[in-house]
Amino acid sequence: MKYLVIILFSMLLSNTNTCNEKKNVADHQEKENQTDQEITFLIATLNGNEISNKKLYIMFDEKRSAATGNSGCNTFSSKYIVDKETISFNYPIATKMYCEENAKLEQEFFKTLIQTKIRIITKDSLFLKDEMKNILFSGVKKSKE
């Protein structure tokens, strides 16, 4: 009987450690997932034109299914629906500043964003394509600071 109590007690203690270890692993994975839920890309090309010097960017917030960023002059936000590589953006909302030098670029940005149907994210690159698989946007993942 004494041995049975000792064995049961030691089994109980060993299970407690295992549960704590599992909880720690789960907490660590959750923290990693939270940081991966927001991904920012610096836009390099728009419809084949090099625009990296314009400092446009798009950030995908996977948790809220929302994209935010800078479209040339204004900041914008747009909800999206994603299914594997397919993506559909709602019409974006933006601040209302007028910048004459970037007005055409910004109009093209929004028009092109709505045409986007395919999103491909690799390790550090973004490609947004239309339904004919033409590259509309390409971008480079912004490094974490």
pLDDT 10s digits, 6-34? 665 566 555 554 555 555 544 444 444 44
- Cβ–Cβ under 8 Å, residues 49 and 39: no
Residues 49 and 13 reside in one and the same domain:
no
What average pLDDT does this structure show over 38-45? 95
Residue 105 class from Cβ within 10 Å (0-12 exposed, 13-18 middle, 19+ buried)? middle
- Cβ–Cβ under 8 Å, residues 117 and 88: yes
The pLDDT score that the predictor gives to residue 57 is 97
Residues 50 and 60 reside in one and the same domain:
yes
Q: Per-residue pLDDT tens for 111-130?
A: 999 999 999 999 899 999 99
Average pLDDT, the chain: 83
Residues 54 and 104 reside in one and the same domain:
yes
Give the structural domain span for 30: 1-36
Q: Per-residue pLDDT tens for 53-70?
A: 999 999 999 999 999 999
Q: Is the pLDDT of residue 44 over 70?
A: yes
Residues 77 and 103 reside in one and the same domain:
yes
DSSP state of 143: P
Going by C-beta distance under 8 Å and a sequence separation of 6 or more, which residues neighbour residue 75?
68, 69, 94, 95
The pLDDT score that the predictor gives to residue 14 is 59
User: What are the residue ranges of helices labelled H in 1-145?
Assistant: 2-36, 103-115
The pLDDT score that the predictor gives to residue 6 is 63
Domain with residue 52: its CATH number is 2.40.128.270
Phi, psi (rounded to 5 degrees) for 102:
-115, 10
Q: Is the pLDDT of residue 135 over 60?
A: yes
